[in-house]
Structure 1
Amino acid sequence: MNISDQLSITAKKNPAKIAYIFEEAETSYLDLEGAVQRFASSMEALGYKKGDHIALIVGNSPYYVISLYGALRLGLVVIPVNPMYTANELSYILHNGDVKAIITMDVMLEKLASIDQDLPSVKHYISCDSGAGISVQENLLQPKMKTFSELVGKGEGDFERPVLDDQDTAIILYTSGTTGKPKGAMLSHENIYSNAKDVADYLGINGKDRMIAALPMFHVFCLTVSLNAPLMNGGTILIIPKFSPADVLRVANEREATVFAGVPTMYNYLLQAVKGQKPKFGNVRLCISGGAAMPVSLLEAFEETFHIQLSEGYGLSEASPVTCFNPIDRPRKAGSIGTSIWNVENKVVDLFGEEVETGEVGELIVRGPNVMKGYYKMPEETEVALKDGWLYTGDMARVDEDGYVYIVDRKKDMILVGGYNVYPREVEEVLYTHPNVIEVAVIGEPHPESGESVTCFVVVDDAEISEKDLIDFSKGHLVNYKIPTRIEFLEELPKNTTGKILRRSLKSSVNS
């Protein structure tokens, strides 16, 4: 079974059910199924076959949904790419990924034309109309140009799909590349399908749900939780092109949303947007957080303000991505990423791969049908990440007596102060409890005596707050070697397109 086949099953059972709503237009499962069929048919007519690689460089829109499910139906391998990437970043991924066709927005064509000579494998550029009035006929990429509307309009509705194996590669997700070049995590049809199903079952996402999709669809968090999981059970997707607190609140109320998924910074923005108000958030019964650690003070403030349960989870691209969530049928634990979802095992081990005692810190490793096949064309990196069927995450964690997992921090982000381990997250958690701190990120900075020192970057809502104020505040909560030695105030912390704070950018600014 795969997610594209599941869409067909849902469309047959509930043809009139609304699959997604985008910019006021509603699309039924029957209409979505038809568009997927025609897209797959047209791609086959262009010469594409099972196993060929295509890139999807599209924002949150029906274009993305139809292209993804249509490509998978033909057995193509989909490589989702961030449209905000530079030409150099795009060139590396498209070349390394052996891409033969690119589905993209017309506003991207000029950038892609600048690197076309570096992409000899690319046979077609399929342009999606952004409404910006760009003429694709005059584009430099002719005669490789096709339009999305042309493909969906001319395709055959009775397209005969190829036989797919569960272990066939479905998606290659390129990691953010915090060290070296990005690595392409190969996810099979089983990986994608099982994780979507297990997430939906674990969180009770069903056909009555209306899920807000405000996270970027090219990111695996949105792909699985906000797109595949609700479509798995016949739910409705409320597509928001780009996150803004105002748009999320408006859509939630106008369209009676029931589930919202976001990263911690999104919840912070929502809180700031409703300060001093009694917020309405549609019929939302569940909020889901992932992508980065959720500060406990932020979690509690959000639940107190919106009166909605917030379930924090954990995942990574190499695991399709979800491995843990706080359960909805029993108490959630603030600060924890919850327990293992169905069919997935999480374990904390020492340097030798042996499981540590309850409460002890070690590296989190994962096993299950969601774990990737390996990294594309990178056998050595694959051997480092996958050992005896377990995926080594690189995250330091501990497990309590009830099986709840707590991420301590990234292994590579640990700060060594005079021989003592300092995990940035525990310092950040303390500073987040200060009433004037909006955002904070902690890194290690080289120090001539202690090896490293604790440096904090903070955003505050009161210009009168000083470095001394926050250092003194920390002294009441942290042992001496964990206390920040330097605090730098910023108007905003650097973030990626999903809203995750980029510590590596802060490190680069310190070392430059």
Structure 2
Amino acid sequence: MNLTSQLHKTAQEKGEKTAYYFMDQSSTYAELDAAVTKFASGLSSIGIKAGDNVALLLGNSPQFVIGLYGALRLGAKVIPINPIYTPDEIGYIIKNGDVKAIVLLDLLVPLAEKMHGALPEVEHYIVCETPQGKASGQDLTKLSVYSKMKSFTEVVSEGDLGFVGPELLDDETAIILYTSGTTGKPKGAMLTHRNLYSNAKDVSDYLHINEEDRVITTLPMFHVFCLTVALNAPLMNGGTILIDPKFSPKEIFRLAEKYQPTVFAGVPTMYNFLYQYPEGDAHAFKSFRLCISGGASLPVALLENFEKKFNVLISEGYGLSEASPVTCFNPLDRPRKAGSIGRSIINVENKVVNELGEDVPVGEVGELVVKGPNVMKGYYKMPEETAATIKDGWLYTGDLARMDEEGYLYIVDRKKDMIIVGGYNVYPREVEEVFYNHPEVVEAAVLGVPDPNTGEAVKCYVVSKNQDLTANDLIEYSKERLAKYKVPSSIEFLEELPKNTTGKILRRALKTQVTEVN
């Protein structure tokens, strides 16, 4: 079984059930499955074959869902790309990923016009119309890329509803997800049909996602967290997704009031915005049975404050692109442990090892490694990087963690983010947790900066709700709660912290700022 055949099976059994709402318009499973089949057929008719690579340069929309499942049904490989990446970032992924066709928003056609001369291997640009694009009045017929353009609506409408795609093998690559490139050029994680199907199923079973669930899908669909937890998992079980084009607290509360959702998946920044939203009413969340957090460590103070205010459970988990992505979640059948990413999900094994790959004792810090049917095939065209990341079947995550006696895991920090002060290890998250407990701190990020005496020193960036709060106030506050070598030597106040499109705080952007200053 695979994602697209499971969708077809669900459509046959529950055809009249609502698959999604988008901009207050709905579509049934039968309608979605028909559009997927016709898009697959339409791709075939313009020359896209099984094994070809198709990029999705789209935001959260029905076209993303149809494009994803349609390309998979044809046997093509899908490369989701963040549509707000720079031209250089997009161009690199398209060239490195050997993309033959791009499905994109009409608002991005000017970008395609600038890039297509350098991308001769791209044969088709399939354009999705938007109200904003229509309103812009751009005349596409005058562009040199126009000869390669097709309308998304046209490709679907001209497809054959009787189209039958090839047999999809479990170990064939289905999606290539490019990592964010924190350690150099982005790497394309090759996820197979088995990887994606097994992880969506195992997450569903672990969190009891079923046909009665209505899931708010506001995380970016091009990101693997959303792809598995808020898109594939509910759709494979006959649930309903509420497609939100762009996260905003106001819209989340509107969706909650109107559609009575049962599951929300978000990153810590989203929970912070929802918690801080002045008009946020706990009554609006009365239908939620579960909130899911991932993408970054959720500060314990924020978790506890959010649960208390909205009377809803947050299950924090962990994943990475190379693992499709989920490896851990806090279980629902026993008490949740604040600060923990939970236990291994069904069919996935996590353990903590030392530099030699040996298990460390309970409670000690080491590198988190993962094994299971969700672990990627490897990096696209990067055998050396693959060999350095997957050893003896174990995926080395690069994250430092510890495990308690009950098998609950705790992320300490990224291995590369650890700060060494005079020979002592300082984990940024530990310091950040202290500042998140301060009543006037909204956000905090910690990193190491060069120091002539200790090698490195701790620096903290803070967003505060009180303009009168001083760096000295916070340093004195931290002295009461941290060992001397962990206390920040400097604190800088910012209006906001840099974040990526999923809302994850970007320490590397702050590091660049520090490097430029020095």
Query: Shorter-normalised TM-score: what interval?
Result: over 0.9
CA distance in 1: counterparts of 2:74 and 2:298, whole angstroms: 39
Instruction: Give the aligned partner of residue 231 of structure 1.
Output: 235
| CA drift at 1:199 | 0.4
> Does the alignment pair 1:45 with 2:49?
no
Unaligned stretches of 5+ in structure 2? none
Of the three residues 420, 427, 432, the one matched with 2:424 is 420
| CA drift at 1:169 | 0.2
Matches within 5 A, 1:164-243: 164-243=168-247
Q: What does the per-residue CA deviation read over 1:441-482, in whole Å, with 9 as the maximum and x for residues that have no partner?
A: 000000001000000000000011100100000011100000
Amino acid at match of 2:315: S
Alignment partner of 2:396: what SS? Answer: strand
State the 4+ residue runs in structure 1 displaced beyond 4 angstroms. 275-279
| CA drift at 1:262 | 0.2
Matches within 5 A, 1:56-455: 56-132=56-132, 133=134, 134-274=138-278, 278-455=282-459
| CA drift at 1:278 | 4.5
Verify the 8 A CA contact 1:136 1:145 in the aligned structure 2.
no
Check 1:418–1:165 CA distance in 2 against 1; reply closer, same or farther (3 A cut): same
Alignment partner of 2:459: what SS? Answer: strand
CA distance in 1: counterparts of 2:120 and 2:145, whole angstroms: 13
Farther-moved stretch of structure 1 (289-298 vs 45-54): 45-54
Alignment partner of 1:507: what SS? Answer: helix
CA distance in 1: counterparts of 2:72 and 2:282, whole angstroms: 44
| CA drift at 1:27 | 0.1
Verify the 8 A CA contact 1:436 1:462 in the aligned structure 2.
yes
Alignment partner of 1:143: what SS? Answer: helix
CA distance in 2: counterparts of 1:130 and 1:321, whole angstroms: 31
Amino acid at match of 1:157: L
CA distance in 2: counterparts of 1:235 and 1:276, whole angstroms: 26
Instruction: Give the aligned partner of residue 503 of structure 2.
Output: 499
Alignment partner of 2:502: what SS? Answer: coil
CA distance in 2: counterparts of 1:40 and 1:237, whole angstroms: 22
Q: What does the per-residue CA deviation read over 1:377-436, in whole Å, with 9 as the maximum and x for residues that have no partner?
A: 111100110000000000000000000000000000000000000000000001110000
Check 1:147–1:484 CA distance in 2 against 1; reply closer, same or farther (3 A cut): same
| CA drift at 1:277 | 5.1
Check 1:110–1:427 CA distance in 2 against 1; reply closer, same or farther (3 A cut): same
CA distance in 1: counterparts of 2:140 and 2:261, whole angstroms: 37
Amino acid at match of 1:254: K
| CA drift at 1:252 | 1.3
| CA drift at 1:162 | 0.4
CA distance in 1: counterparts of 2:268 and 2:164, whole angstroms: 43
Verify the 8 A CA contact 1:262 1:290 in the aligned structure 2.
yes
TM-score, normalization: structure 1?
0.99
RMSD between aligned residues: 0.9
Amino acid at match of 2:37: Q
CA distance in 2: counterparts of 1:135 and 1:68, whole angstroms: 28
Instruction: Give the aligned partner of residue 27 of structure 2.
Output: 27
Alignment partner of 1:114: what SS? Answer: helix
| CA drift at 1:113 | 1.4
| CA drift at 1:279 | 4.5
| CA drift at 1:164 | 1.1
Verify the 8 A CA contact 1:299 1:334 in the aligned structure 2.
yes
| CA drift at 1:136 | 3.5
CA distance in 2: counterparts of 1:252 and 1:408, whole angstroms: 34
| CA drift at 1:282 | 4.9
Instruction: Give the aligned partner of residue 470 of structure 1.
Output: 474
Verify the 8 A CA contact 1:87 1:112 in the aligned structure 2.
no
Verify the 8 A CA contact 1:294 1:312 in the aligned structure 2.
yes
CA distance in 1: counterparts of 2:193 and 2:278, whole angstroms: 41
TM-score, normalization: structure 2?
0.98
> Does the alignment pair 1:460 with 2:470?
no
Verify the 8 A CA contact 1:95 1:118 in the aligned structure 2.
no
| CA drift at 1:274 | 3.8
Q: What does the per-residue CA deviation read over 1:204-241, in whole Å, with 9 as the maximum and x for residues that have no partner?
A: 11000000000000000000000000001000000000
Verify the 8 A CA contact 1:198 1:343 in the aligned structure 2.
yes
Alignment partner of 1:141: what SS? Answer: helix
Instruction: Give the aligned partner of residue 12 of structure 1.
Output: 12
Unaligned stretches of 5+ in structure 1? none
CA distance in 2: counterparts of 1:135 and 1:405, whole angstroms: 55
| CA drift at 1:179 | 1.3
Farther-moved stretch of structure 1 (402-411 vs 278-287): 278-287
CA distance in 2: counterparts of 1:124 and 1:236, whole angstroms: 32
| CA drift at 1:118 | 1.4
